[in-house]
Amino acid sequence: MPTSDGGGGGVAAATSGTGMSSSKGSVMFFGRNTFEVLLLYFPVGIGVVWFWRGAWLLMDYYVYREWLDGSDPDDKKRTTWVSLVLGFVLFAVLFFFARMLERLGALESLKKRLMLWGLLERIFTILVAFASVNAWRGWWYLFDVYVMPDADDFLAGAWISCFVGIGVCLVFGCLRSIIGPPCVVVMDDEYKVGFDVPSYLEARRLRAEAVAERRRLNKSVADAGTEPTPKTSSAGPASVGEVEVEMVVPTSGESRPGVDARPSIV
Protein backbone atom coordinates (compact mmCIF):
# COMPACT_ATOMS: atom_id res chain seq x y z
CA MET A 1 0.00 0.00 0.00
CA PRO A 2 1.60 3.29 -1.03
CA THR A 3 2.25 5.82 1.67
CA SER A 4 2.26 9.58 1.45
CA ASP A 5 5.68 11.21 1.17
CA GLY A 6 4.41 14.48 2.58
CA GLY A 7 4.92 16.33 -0.71
CA GLY A 8 8.60 15.45 -0.94
CA GLY A 9 8.07 13.86 -4.35
CA GLY A 10 6.40 17.01 -5.58
CA VAL A 11 9.34 19.11 -4.41
CA ALA A 12 11.77 16.76 -6.08
CA ALA A 13 9.80 16.87 -9.29
CA ALA A 14 9.68 20.66 -9.19
CA THR A 15 13.42 20.83 -8.58
CA SER A 16 14.04 18.43 -11.44
CA GLY A 17 11.78 20.46 -13.72
CA THR A 18 13.60 23.67 -12.83
CA GLY A 19 16.94 22.01 -13.58
CA MET A 20 15.72 20.77 -16.95
CA SER A 21 14.32 24.20 -17.79
CA SER A 22 17.58 25.87 -16.81
CA SER A 23 19.58 23.39 -18.86
CA LYS A 24 17.32 23.89 -21.87
CA GLY A 25 17.61 27.66 -21.50
CA SER A 26 21.40 27.43 -21.41
CA VAL A 27 21.46 25.29 -24.55
CA MET A 28 19.16 27.74 -26.35
CA PHE A 29 21.29 30.69 -25.16
CA PHE A 30 24.55 29.23 -26.42
CA GLY A 31 22.96 27.92 -29.59
CA ARG A 32 21.37 31.25 -30.50
CA ASN A 33 24.50 33.27 -29.77
CA THR A 34 26.74 30.81 -31.60
CA PHE A 35 24.49 31.11 -34.64
CA GLU A 36 24.58 34.90 -34.41
CA VAL A 37 28.39 34.96 -34.19
CA LEU A 38 28.61 32.73 -37.25
CA LEU A 39 26.05 34.87 -39.09
CA LEU A 40 27.92 38.11 -38.38
CA TYR A 41 31.44 36.76 -38.86
CA PHE A 42 30.93 34.92 -42.13
CA PRO A 43 28.29 36.35 -44.51
CA VAL A 44 28.38 39.94 -43.21
CA GLY A 45 32.12 39.97 -42.59
CA ILE A 46 32.85 38.39 -45.96
CA GLY A 47 30.59 40.82 -47.80
CA VAL A 48 32.10 43.95 -46.25
CA VAL A 49 35.74 42.85 -46.38
CA TRP A 50 35.53 41.62 -49.95
CA PHE A 51 33.91 44.87 -51.10
CA TRP A 52 36.71 46.84 -49.46
CA ARG A 53 39.35 44.53 -50.89
CA GLY A 54 37.92 44.79 -54.40
CA ALA A 55 37.60 48.58 -54.34
CA TRP A 56 41.12 48.94 -52.94
CA LEU A 57 42.70 46.64 -55.54
CA LEU A 58 40.82 48.31 -58.39
CA MET A 59 42.38 51.61 -57.33
CA ASP A 60 45.78 49.90 -57.18
CA TYR A 61 45.33 48.56 -60.72
CA TYR A 62 43.82 51.55 -62.50
CA VAL A 63 45.46 54.53 -60.76
CA TYR A 64 49.24 54.83 -61.20
CA ARG A 65 50.06 51.14 -60.86
CA GLU A 66 53.70 51.21 -62.00
CA TRP A 67 54.87 51.17 -58.38
CA LEU A 68 53.51 47.66 -57.97
CA ASP A 69 56.25 46.12 -60.13
CA GLY A 70 58.87 48.65 -59.04
CA SER A 71 59.22 50.30 -62.45
CA ASP A 72 58.20 53.71 -61.08
CA PRO A 73 58.27 54.00 -57.27
CA ASP A 74 56.98 57.58 -57.45
CA ASP A 75 53.66 56.22 -58.70
CA LYS A 76 52.85 55.20 -55.13
CA LYS A 77 53.03 58.84 -54.09
CA ARG A 78 50.75 59.83 -56.95
CA THR A 79 48.16 57.13 -56.25
CA THR A 80 48.26 58.04 -52.55
CA TRP A 81 47.30 61.64 -53.24
CA VAL A 82 44.67 60.60 -55.77
CA SER A 83 42.96 58.46 -53.11
CA LEU A 84 43.18 61.17 -50.45
CA VAL A 85 41.75 63.86 -52.72
CA LEU A 86 39.16 61.59 -54.33
CA GLY A 87 37.96 60.26 -50.98
CA PHE A 88 37.66 63.74 -49.47
CA VAL A 89 35.98 65.37 -52.48
CA LEU A 90 33.53 62.51 -53.00
CA PHE A 91 32.58 62.40 -49.33
CA ALA A 92 32.24 66.20 -49.16
CA VAL A 93 29.98 66.28 -52.23
CA LEU A 94 27.78 63.47 -50.91
CA PHE A 95 27.71 65.03 -47.44
CA PHE A 96 26.55 68.42 -48.70
CA PHE A 97 24.11 66.80 -51.12
CA ALA A 98 22.46 64.85 -48.29
CA ARG A 99 22.39 67.90 -46.01
CA MET A 100 20.87 70.08 -48.72
CA LEU A 101 18.10 67.53 -49.28
CA GLU A 102 17.47 67.55 -45.55
CA ARG A 103 17.54 71.37 -45.37
CA LEU A 104 15.05 71.69 -48.22
CA GLY A 105 12.79 69.09 -46.63
CA ALA A 106 12.95 67.09 -49.83
CA LEU A 107 13.79 63.64 -48.48
CA GLU A 108 10.32 62.48 -47.55
CA SER A 109 8.63 64.03 -50.58
CA LEU A 110 11.14 62.48 -52.96
CA LYS A 111 10.81 59.15 -51.18
CA LYS A 112 7.08 59.14 -51.91
CA ARG A 113 7.42 60.22 -55.54
CA LEU A 114 10.33 58.19 -56.82
CA MET A 115 9.72 54.51 -57.50
CA LEU A 116 13.44 53.76 -57.57
CA TRP A 117 14.12 55.40 -54.21
CA GLY A 118 15.49 52.19 -52.68
CA LEU A 119 17.94 51.79 -55.57
CA LEU A 120 19.09 55.41 -55.25
CA GLU A 121 19.65 54.95 -51.51
CA ARG A 122 21.86 51.93 -52.13
CA ILE A 123 23.85 53.69 -54.87
CA PHE A 124 24.42 56.56 -52.44
CA THR A 125 25.61 54.08 -49.78
CA ILE A 126 28.04 52.43 -52.20
CA LEU A 127 29.47 55.82 -53.22
CA VAL A 128 29.99 56.79 -49.56
CA ALA A 129 31.66 53.40 -48.98
CA PHE A 130 33.94 53.99 -51.98
CA ALA A 131 34.91 57.36 -50.51
CA SER A 132 35.71 55.59 -47.23
CA VAL A 133 37.88 53.01 -49.00
CA ASN A 134 39.86 55.80 -50.66
CA ALA A 135 40.31 57.56 -47.32
CA TRP A 136 41.66 54.35 -45.80
CA ARG A 137 43.87 53.69 -48.80
CA GLY A 138 45.18 57.26 -48.94
CA TRP A 139 46.05 57.56 -45.26
CA TRP A 140 47.50 54.03 -45.23
CA TYR A 141 49.86 54.71 -48.15
CA LEU A 142 50.67 58.19 -46.84
CA PHE A 143 52.11 56.59 -43.72
CA ASP A 144 54.09 54.10 -45.82
CA VAL A 145 55.44 56.72 -48.21
CA TYR A 146 56.16 59.72 -45.97
CA VAL A 147 56.22 58.64 -42.30
CA MET A 148 57.97 55.26 -42.35
CA PRO A 149 59.22 54.66 -45.89
CA ASP A 150 62.13 52.46 -44.80
CA ALA A 151 61.25 48.76 -44.80
CA ASP A 152 63.56 48.26 -41.82
CA ASP A 153 61.19 50.40 -39.74
CA PHE A 154 58.24 48.10 -40.42
CA LEU A 155 57.71 46.94 -36.82
CA ALA A 156 58.28 50.39 -35.32
CA GLY A 157 55.88 51.88 -37.86
CA ALA A 158 53.22 49.35 -36.94
CA TRP A 159 53.44 50.23 -33.22
CA ILE A 160 53.51 53.97 -33.90
CA SER A 161 50.50 53.69 -36.20
CA CYS A 162 48.50 51.78 -33.58
CA PHE A 163 49.24 54.14 -30.70
CA VAL A 164 48.81 57.34 -32.71
CA GLY A 165 45.50 56.09 -34.12
CA ILE A 166 44.18 55.13 -30.68
CA GLY A 167 45.41 58.43 -29.22
CA VAL A 168 43.67 60.55 -31.86
CA CYS A 169 40.39 58.68 -31.39
CA LEU A 170 40.62 59.05 -27.60
CA VAL A 171 41.21 62.80 -27.89
CA PHE A 172 38.10 63.20 -30.04
CA GLY A 173 36.06 60.83 -27.87
CA CYS A 174 35.31 58.34 -30.63
CA LEU A 175 37.44 55.29 -29.88
CA ARG A 176 34.55 52.97 -30.80
CA SER A 177 34.93 54.20 -34.37
CA ILE A 178 37.86 51.82 -34.80
CA ILE A 179 35.40 48.93 -34.58
CA GLY A 180 34.16 47.64 -37.90
CA PRO A 181 32.31 44.65 -39.31
CA PRO A 182 31.75 41.95 -38.24
CA CYS A 183 31.66 43.52 -34.75
CA VAL A 184 29.49 46.41 -35.93
CA VAL A 185 26.67 45.89 -38.38
CA VAL A 186 24.36 48.61 -39.69
CA MET A 187 21.05 47.19 -40.84
CA ASP A 188 19.07 48.49 -43.82
CA ASP A 189 15.59 49.33 -42.58
CA GLU A 190 12.70 51.66 -43.25
CA TYR A 191 13.54 54.00 -40.38
CA LYS A 192 16.98 54.93 -41.63
CA VAL A 193 16.94 57.37 -44.51
CA GLY A 194 19.44 56.18 -47.11
CA PHE A 195 20.80 59.67 -47.72
CA ASP A 196 21.78 60.21 -44.11
CA VAL A 197 25.47 60.87 -43.46
CA PRO A 198 27.50 60.56 -40.23
CA SER A 199 27.58 63.63 -37.99
CA TYR A 200 30.32 63.95 -35.38
CA LEU A 201 28.85 67.17 -33.96
CA GLU A 202 25.41 65.58 -33.65
CA ALA A 203 26.97 62.63 -31.84
CA ARG A 204 28.65 64.99 -29.39
CA ARG A 205 25.37 66.83 -28.77
CA LEU A 206 23.43 63.63 -28.09
CA ARG A 207 26.18 62.36 -25.81
CA ALA A 208 26.15 65.61 -23.83
CA GLU A 209 22.37 65.34 -23.46
CA ALA A 210 22.72 61.78 -22.18
CA VAL A 211 25.38 62.76 -19.62
CA ALA A 212 23.30 65.72 -18.41
CA GLU A 213 20.25 63.47 -18.01
CA ARG A 214 22.25 60.89 -16.08
CA ARG A 215 23.54 63.55 -13.70
CA ARG A 216 20.03 64.95 -13.23
CA LEU A 217 18.66 61.53 -12.32
CA ASN A 218 21.54 60.73 -9.97
CA LYS A 219 21.11 64.07 -8.19
CA SER A 220 17.36 63.54 -7.87
CA VAL A 221 17.88 60.11 -6.34
CA ALA A 222 20.52 61.43 -3.93
CA ASP A 223 18.45 64.43 -2.84
CA ALA A 224 15.00 62.88 -2.57
CA GLY A 225 15.81 59.24 -1.99
CA THR A 226 13.09 58.37 -4.48
CA GLU A 227 12.98 57.01 -7.96
CA PRO A 228 12.27 59.87 -10.39
CA THR A 229 10.66 59.28 -13.72
CA PRO A 230 13.36 59.67 -16.38
CA LYS A 231 12.69 62.17 -19.14
CA THR A 232 12.37 60.90 -22.67
CA SER A 233 15.61 61.72 -24.42
CA SER A 234 16.64 61.44 -28.02
CA ALA A 235 20.00 60.23 -26.81
CA GLY A 236 18.71 56.79 -25.88
CA PRO A 237 17.03 54.77 -23.14
CA ALA A 238 17.21 55.80 -19.51
CA SER A 239 17.15 53.75 -16.31
CA VAL A 240 16.55 54.79 -12.70
CA GLY A 241 19.57 56.65 -11.39
CA GLU A 242 21.52 56.25 -14.60
CA VAL A 243 21.18 56.83 -18.31
CA GLU A 244 22.81 54.04 -20.23
CA VAL A 245 23.66 55.05 -23.78
CA GLU A 246 25.80 53.12 -26.17
CA MET A 247 25.48 54.56 -29.63
CA VAL A 248 27.18 54.76 -32.94
CA VAL A 249 27.60 58.13 -34.65
CA PRO A 250 24.08 59.30 -35.46
CA THR A 251 23.09 60.50 -38.86
CA SER A 252 21.78 63.82 -39.99
CA GLY A 253 18.14 64.70 -39.81
CA GLU A 254 15.61 64.79 -37.02
CA SER A 255 16.45 62.72 -33.97
CA ARG A 256 14.31 59.63 -33.78
CA PRO A 257 14.20 57.96 -30.34
CA GLY A 258 15.21 54.35 -30.60
CA VAL A 259 16.63 54.88 -34.08
CA ASP A 260 19.42 57.46 -33.85
CA ALA A 261 20.79 56.14 -30.57
CA ARG A 262 21.54 52.50 -31.19
CA PRO A 263 23.62 49.64 -29.87
CA SER A 264 26.59 48.38 -31.80
CA ILE A 265 24.51 46.06 -33.95
CA VAL A 266 21.96 48.33 -35.56
pLDDT in tens, 59-93: 999 998 888 887 888 888 999 999 999 999 999 99
What CA–CA distance (Å, rounded) separates 84 from 94?
16
Is pLDDT above 60 for 3? Answer: no
Q: Is it the case that residue 162 has pLDDT exceeding 90?
A: yes
**pLDDT band with cut points at 50, 70 and 90 for residue 259:** very low
How far apart are alpha carbons 242 and 210 in whole angstroms? 9
If you average pLDDT over residues 167-176, what whole number do you get? 91
Q: Is the dihedral of CA 171, 176, 181, 182 positive or negative?
A: positive
Q: Residue 193 pLDDT > 60, yes or no?
A: no
Whole-number average pLDDT of the chain: 75
Single-letter amino acid code for the residue at 182: P
- For the segment 7-52, what is each residue's pLDDT rounded down to a tens digit? 555 545 445 555 566 777 788 888 888 888 888 788 888 999 999 9
For the segment 120-140, the average pLDDT, to the nearest whole number, is 91
Using a pLDDT cut of 70, give the percent of the chain over it.
68
Percent of the chain, pLDDT > 90? Answer: 24
Asked if residue 243 lies in contact with residue 217, where contact means CB atoms within 8 angstroms, the answer is: yes
Query: Is residue 264's pLDDT more than 50?
Result: no
Question: pTM of this prediction?
Answer: 0.67
Among 32-41, 144-153, 195-204, 236-245, whose mean pLDDT is lowest? Answer: 236-245
Find all residues with CB under 8 Å of 194, minimum gap 6, and list them: 117, 118, 120, 121, 122, 124, 125
Does residue 244 carry a pLDDT above 50?
no
Lowest mean pLDDT among 65-79, 107-121, 242-256: 242-256
Query: Quick one: pLDDT at residue 159?
Result: 93
